[in-house]
C-alpha cells in the first residue's frame, strides 16, 4: 500500500513541508520550479496532459517529502530538474515528463511499480522500472553498476525514452556533484565518461555529451579544467574581433543568395582541448583550432544539399581549404543521424578555422539527436535508418543470454564508436562499420555464417586477407570456404561487437565439444585403470593437476594437453594417501581470496605507508602513483589491493564497473620512500645536452635514475627518463629545474598507460 497521497484530489498541490527549515520559502521555490516546468512544456501539451503532470508532481512531492539531497535542498528539486532537462534540452513530451517526475519513487520509497502502473499506465511503469536500480547483494565477480546498466538498457527494445531520461538524470547529478564526497565524485564522473557521454554521442545529443565531458574534467582534473576555461575566457575578446573580420566577406556573399541564414561561433569544449593537449602532448598555446564557425541555412528539404555546397563554394573562394579536412556528412550521415558539411580553411592571418555548414533541420538534429528524429521522421528516411540500425544491433546484443553483465557492458561500449567507416557490398549497398573494421568485420555484418566461413576478401577487386583494415568507399566481396571455422586469433583483429560476439559464441560451442570429448576420455581411462569415476574422483584429479575448474580439466584432456600418463601418476598418488592433505590445502587456498574482497565501511581510508602490516597492497604499474597524487584503492581478485592514480587511464573502467571494490586511500605524510616515475623531455638538440640533464638529476639533485633514453631527429630531440622521487613536490621541483636547461622546451610526466 502507498501513503495518503491516494486520498488527495488529483488537482491539489500537496505541500506538506512543515518539518523542513524555512518551509514557506522552500514551498514558494518548489511552486516556482513546478510552474517553470509547465511553461516549458506548454507548447507540446495536449488536453488532459497538465492534469497528469500535476498528479505525478503530487505523488513525487509526497513520496520524497522528508528527503533531502547531499546539498541540503529538498529532494523534489531533482525530479523537477530532470523533467525540465527532458522537455527543454532534449525535446521530449508528456510521457517523459511524468516518468522523470516519479523516476526515483520506487527505488527510494515504499511505493511499488504496481502503484505506478495503476496511476499512470503500463508504459510509464515500464520506463520507471528501467530507471530503477536492482536491489540486493551481488555475487562475487559481478558488478552492481554493470547489472543496473544492463537492466536499464533492456527497456531500450521497447522504449528509447528510458535512456534519454537516464541521460537527463545523469546530467543533473553531474551539475550538482559539488556537494558529494570526493570518492563519489570520482565514481560518478568515471561512469559518466565511460558510458553515458559516449551514449549521448551515439544518440546525437551533442550538447549534453559535451557538457557531460566538461563536467567529468571539472571533477577529475580540476586544475586543468580551471586553467583551460580561464584561458578561453581571457582570449574571448580577441576571438570575437577575429571572427568578425573572418565572416564579413562570407556574409556579403550569403546576402546575395537571398536565403535566410545565421552564423554562430563556438569555442571548442574544455574537454576536447584537454584531450588534444594530452594526446598530442602539447600546451594550450599550440592548440590552434580553438573554435568553429557554424553557418545555418533555412532551406527546403529538396534544396538542402545544393545550398550547403553553394555556401562551401563561397567560403573556399575567400579562404584556402585543407583538402584533408573536408567531411561530407550530408551525403552520408553519421550513424547517430548527424548531418553537416565540415571544412577547415586558412584565415588571412595564417590561422586554421573550422567551418560547419548545415540547415536548421540538421542543426536541431545535431543538438537534440534522437528526440528531434521523431519531428523529421516522416521526411528523412536516411536519418531514421542509420539510427534504427544501431538500435537493432543493441537489441540483438540484449537478446543474448550467455553474456555476464560485464561482458555485456564491454560489448555495448563497442557499439559506441565515435567514428564510422562507410563501405559497399558488390551490389553497391552501403554498410556502416566502426573505424578500424576489417574484412572479417564486414563478413559478419553481412551474415554470421558468411563471417564464420570467411577465408579472405576482394577489396576494390584486389585480394586481401581477413584482417585487412577497410577504408571509406571500399567495395568488398567476401570469399568463403565450408572448411573454415573461427579461431581465437580472430578476436585480436575484429572491432565490431557483432563480429566479436559471434566469434565468441562459435568458440564456446567448439570448447563445449572438446570438453565433452575430454569427459569421455577421463571416464574411459579411469575405468581401464580400475578407478571409480565420479564427482569425488574428478575433484581429486582436478586438485592433483592444479586446474581451477572441471571445465579446464576436461578441456585439456579433450585437447590432448594431458595424456593417460597423467592418470597413471594420479593413481599412484592416490594410493599413497597424500591427496587427502592436498585437497584440504587447496580448498583453504580457494576460500582465502573470497575473504579479502569485501566492501569496507564508507568512512574507512587505507593509509599508504602505515597499513602495510594490516592489509597487503601494491602500487599499480599502469599509472605509477607517487605521494601527493590523488589515489584510490582497488580490490583485485588475485593480487590484493592495487593503488591507482585518480586520473589513471584504467580509472574510468574500474570506477564505472566495479565501484563496490573501490576503497578510499591517501598517503601518509611520514612516507619517505622513493617511487619510480617517468618524465618526457622535448626540445632542440645540441652538444652536451644529455650530460647537462643527467648532471642536474644525479649530481645536483641526487636523484637516482632507472633508465634514460634520448632520440634526435633533424635538430629536435625527445627523451624519456625513469627516475625515483619521494612525492609530487619533489617531482615538480625537478621538472622546474630541467625546464631551465638550455634547449629544453617542455618537461612532462608520463601519462598513465593502460595495463
pLDDT value at position 275? Answer: 87
Banded pLDDT at 308 (limits 50, 70, 90) = very high
Domain locations in the chain as residue ranges: 4-220, 227-384, 419-485, 505-576, 605-667, 675-749
C-alpha cell recorded at residue 170: 545523469
Q: How many CB atoms lie within 10 A of CB 380?
A: 19
Q: 38-56 pLDDT, tens per residue?
A: 999 888 888 888 999 999 9
Mean pLDDT of 688-697: 81
Pairing between β-strand 617-619 and β-strand 641-645 as defined by DSSP bridges: parallel
pLDDT, residue 568, reads: 81
Tell me how many degrees the CA angle 357-363-367 measures, rounded to the nearest 5.
Answer: 135
Q: What is the pLDDT of residue 409?
A: 67
Q: pLDDT at residue 752 above 50?
A: no
Query: What's the pLDDT score for residue 325?
Result: 83
- Distance CA(515)–CA(551), nearest Å, equals 7
Alpha-carbon distance of 669 to 667, in angstroms, equals 6
What does the pLDDT read at residue 51?
92
Alpha-carbon distance of 676 to 625, in angstroms, equals 8
What is the C-alpha separation between 499 and 198, in angstroms, rounded? 21
In whole angstroms, give the CA distance from residue 117 to residue 62.
18
- Residue where the block lists cell 520524497: 64
Cell numbers for 197: 557521454
Label residue 593 by pLDDT band (50, 70, 90): very low
- Write out pLDDT tens, residues 254-289: 988 888 999 988 888 899 889 888 887 788 877 767
Angstrom distances, CA of residue 284 to CA of 229, 275, 581, 710, 745: 11, 11, 65, 25, 14
Residue 628's DSSP bridge partners are: none
pLDDT of residue 21: 62
pLDDT of res. 590? 41
Helix, strand, coil shares of the chain, percent, nearest 5, are 55, 15, 30
Instruction: Report the pLDDT averaged over residues 370-390.
Output: 54
Q: Which of 500, 494, 485 is nearest to 452 (CA)?
A: 485
- Among 328-342, 404-418, 551-565, which is the least confidently predicted range? 404-418
Three state DSSP letters for 180-246? CCHHHHHHHHHHHHHHHHHHHHHCCCHHHHHHHHHHHHHHHCHHHHHHHHHHHHHCHHHHHHHHHHH
Q: Is the pLDDT of residue 19 over 60?
A: no
More reliable by pLDDT, 8 or 32: 32
Q: Give the mean model confidence (pLDDT) for residues 680-686.
A: 83
* Structure confidence at residue 22 (pLDDT): 75
**Between 497-528 and 439-446, two packed helices, what is the crossing angle to 10 degrees?**
90
CATH 1.10.540.10, applies to 4-220? no
150 has pLDDT over 80:
no
pLDDT band at 26 (very low <50, low <70, confident <90, very high): confident
Q: What percent of the chain has pLDDT over 90?
A: 17
Torsion of CA 314, 317, 319, 323, to 10 degrees: 90
pLDDT band with cut points at 50, 70 and 90 for residue 173: very high
pLDDT at 118 over 80: yes
Rounded Cα gap, residues 509 and 488, in angstroms: 13
Mean pLDDT for all residues in the chain:
79
How many Cβ atoms from other residues are within 10 Å of residue 429's Cβ?
Answer: 9
* Calpha distance 60→58 (Å, rounded): 6
Evaluate if residue 741 carries a pLDDT over 80: yes
Lowest-confidence range among 388-402, 610-624, 703-717?
388-402
The closest of 394, 503, 493, 498 to 439, measured between CA atoms, is 493
The Cα 439–Cα 451 span in angstroms is 9
Residue range 475-506, pLDDT digits in tens: 999 999 988 888 888 988 898 878 888 888 88
pLDDT at 500: 86
The backbone torsions φ and ψ at residue 473, rounded to the nearest 5 degrees and listed phi first, read 90, -5
* Contacts of residue 755, Cβ cutoff 8 Å, sequence gap at least 6: 620, 621, 622, 650
Q: Does domain 419-485 have CATH number 3.40.50.300?
A: no
Q: What is the CATH number of domain 227-384?
A: 3.30.460.10
pLDDT band at 525 (very low <50, low <70, confident <90, very high): confident
How far are the Cα atoms of 206, 386, 470, 663 from residue 420, in angstroms, in the given order? 17, 12, 11, 38
Highest mean pLDDT among 380-384, 407-411, 743-747: 743-747
Extract long-range pairs of 221-227: CB within 8 Å, 24+ residues apart: 221/274, 221/647, 224/274, 225/270, 225/274, 227/284
Higher pLDDT, 511 or 377: 511
Q: Which residues are catalytic?
A: 107-108
pLDDT of 613 reads 47
The CATH number of the domain covering residues in 675-749: 3.30.70.260
Q: List, in sequence order, every residue forming a beta bridge with 357; answer none if it has no partner.
A: 295, 341
Is pLDDT of 589 > 90?
A: no
Predicted confidence (pLDDT) at residue 682 exceeds the cutoff of 90: no
Q: Compare 582 and 645 and report the one with higher pLDDT.
A: 645
- What percentage of the chain carries pLDDT values higher than 70? 80
Residue 188: is its pLDDT beyond 80? yes
Amino acid at each position: 500500500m502507498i501513503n495518503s497521497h491516494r486520498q488527495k484530489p488529483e488537482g491539489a498541490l500537496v505541500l506538506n513541508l512543515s518539518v523542513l527549515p524555512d518551509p514557506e520559502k522552500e514551498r514558494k521555490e518548489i511552486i516556482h520550479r513546478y510552474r517553470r516546468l509547465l511553461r516549458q512544456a506548454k507548447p507540446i501539451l495536449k488536453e488532459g496532459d497538465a492534469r497528469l503532470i500535476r498528479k505525478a508532481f503530487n505523488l513525487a512531492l509526497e513520496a520524497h517529502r522528508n528527503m533531502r539531497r547531499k546539498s541540503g535542498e529538498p529532494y523534489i528539486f531533482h525530479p523537477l530538474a530532470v523533467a525540465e532537462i527532458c522537455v527543454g534540452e532534449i525535446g521530449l513530451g508528456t510521457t517523459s515528463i511524468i516518468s522523470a517526475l516519479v523516476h526515483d519513487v520506487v527505488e527510494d520509497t515504499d511505493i511499488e511499480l504496481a502503484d505506478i502502473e495503476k496511476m499512470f499506465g503500463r508504459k510509464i511503469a515500464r520506463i520507471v522500472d528501467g530507471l530503477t536500480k536492482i536491489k540486493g547483494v551481488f555475487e562475487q565477480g559481478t558488478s552492481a553498476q554493470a547489472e543496473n546498466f544492463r537492466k536499464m538498457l533492456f527497456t531500450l527494445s521497447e522504449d528509447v525514452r528510458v535512456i534519454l531520461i537516464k541521460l537527463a538524470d545523469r546530467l543533473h547529478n553531474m551539475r550538482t556533484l559539488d556537494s558529494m564526497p570526493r570518492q563519489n565524485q570520482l565514481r560518478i564522473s568515471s561512469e559518466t565518461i565511460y558510458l553515458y557521454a559516449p551514449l549521448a554521442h551515439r544518440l546525437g545529443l551533442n550538447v549534453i555529451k559535451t557538457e557531460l565531458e566538461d563536467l567529468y574534467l571539472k571533477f577529475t582534473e580540476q586544475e586543468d579544467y580551471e586553467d583551460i576555461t580561464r584561458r578561453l575566457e581571457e582570449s574571448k575578446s580577441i576571438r570575437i574581433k577575429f571572427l568578425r573580420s573572418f565572416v564579413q566577406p562570407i556574409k556579403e556573399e550569403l546576402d546575395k543568395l537571398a536565403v535566410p541564414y545565421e552564423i554562430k561561433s563556438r569555442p571548442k569544449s574544455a574537454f576536447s582541448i584537454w584531450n588534444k593537449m594530452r594526446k598530442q602532448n602539447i600546451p594550450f598555446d599550440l592548440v590552434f583550432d580553438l573554435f568553429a564557425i557554424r553557418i545555418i541555412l533555412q532551406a527546403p528539404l529538396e534544396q538542402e544539399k545544393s545550398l550547403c555546397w553553394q555556401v562551401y563554394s563561397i567560403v573556399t573562394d575567400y579562404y584556402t581549404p585543407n583538402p584533408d579536412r573536408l567531411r561530407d556528412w550530408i551525403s552520408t550521415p553519421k550513424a547517430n543521424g548527424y548531418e553537416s558539411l565540415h571544412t577547415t580553411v586558412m584565415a588571412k592571418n595564417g590561422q586554421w578555422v573550422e567551418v560547419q555548414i548545415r540547415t536548421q533541420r540538421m542543426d536541431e538534429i545535431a543538438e537534440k539527436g534522437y528526440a528531434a528524429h521523431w519531428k523529421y521522421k516522416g521526411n528523412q528516411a536516411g536519418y531514421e535508418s542509420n539510427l534504427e540500425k544501431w538500435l537493432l544491433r543493441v537489441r540483438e546484443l540484449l537478446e543474448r543470454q550467455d553474456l555476464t553483465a560485464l561482458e555485456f557492458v564491454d560489448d555495448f561500449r563497442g557499439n559506441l564508436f565515435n567514428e564510422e567507416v562507410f563501405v559497399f557490398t558488390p551490389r553497391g549497398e552501403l554498410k556502416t562499420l566502426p573505424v578500424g573494421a576489417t574484412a572479417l568485420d564486414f563478413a559478419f555484418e553481412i551474415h554470421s555464417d558468411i563471417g564464420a566461413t570467411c577465408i579472405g576478401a576482394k577489396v576494390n577487386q584486389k585480394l586481401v586477407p581477413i584482417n585487412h583494415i577497410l577504408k571509406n568507399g571500399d567495395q568488398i566481396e567476401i570469399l568463403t570456404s565450408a572448411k573454415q571455422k573461427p579461431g581465437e586469433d580472430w578476436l585480436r583483429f575484429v572491432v565490431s561487437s557483432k563480429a566479436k560476439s559471434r566469434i565468441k559464441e562459435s568458440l564456446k560451442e567448439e570448447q563445449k565439444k572438446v570438453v565433452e570429448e575430454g569427459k569421455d576420455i577421463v571416464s574411459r581411462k579411469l575405468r581401464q585403470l580400475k578407478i571409480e569415476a565420479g564427482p569425488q574422483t574428478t575433484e581429486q584429479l582436478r586438485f592433483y593437476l592444479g586446474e581451477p575448474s572441471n571445465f579446464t580439466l576436461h578441456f585439456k584432456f579433450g585437447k590432448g594437453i594431458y595424456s593417460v600418463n597423467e592418470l597413471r601418476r594420479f593413481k599412484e598418488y592416490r594410493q599413497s594417501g597424500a591427496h587427502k592433505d592436498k585437497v584440504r590445502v587447496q580448498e583453504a587456498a580457494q576460500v582465502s581470496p573470497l575473504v579479502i574482497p569485501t566492501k569496507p565501511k564508507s568512512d574507512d581510508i587505507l593509509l599508504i605507508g602505515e597499513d602495510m602490516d594490516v592489509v597487503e597492497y601494491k602500487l599499480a604499474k599502469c599509472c605509477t602513483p607517487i605521494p601527493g597524487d590523488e589515489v584510490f584503492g582497488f580490490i583485485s581478485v588475485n593480487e590484493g589491493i592495487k593503488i591507482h592514480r585518480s586520473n589513471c587511464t584504467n580509472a574510468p573502467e574500474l570506477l564505472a564497473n566495479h565501484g563496490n571494490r573501490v576503497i578510499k586511500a591517501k598517503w601518509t605524510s611520514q612516507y619517505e620512500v622513493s617511487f619510480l616515475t617517468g618524465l618526457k623531455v622535448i626540445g632542440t638538440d645540441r652538444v652536451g645536452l644529455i650530460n647537462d640533464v643527467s648532471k642536474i638529476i644525479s649530481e645536483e639533485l641526487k636523484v637516482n635514475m632507472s633508465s634514460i633514453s634520448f632520440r634526435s631527429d633533424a635538430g629536435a630531440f625527445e627523451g624519456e627518463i625513469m627516475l625515483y622521487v619521494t612525492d609530487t613536490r619533489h617531482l615538480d621541483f625537478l621538472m622546474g629545474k630541467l625546464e631551465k636547461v638550455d634547449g629544453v622546451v617542455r618537461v612532462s610526466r608520463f601519462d598513465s598507460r593502460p595495463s
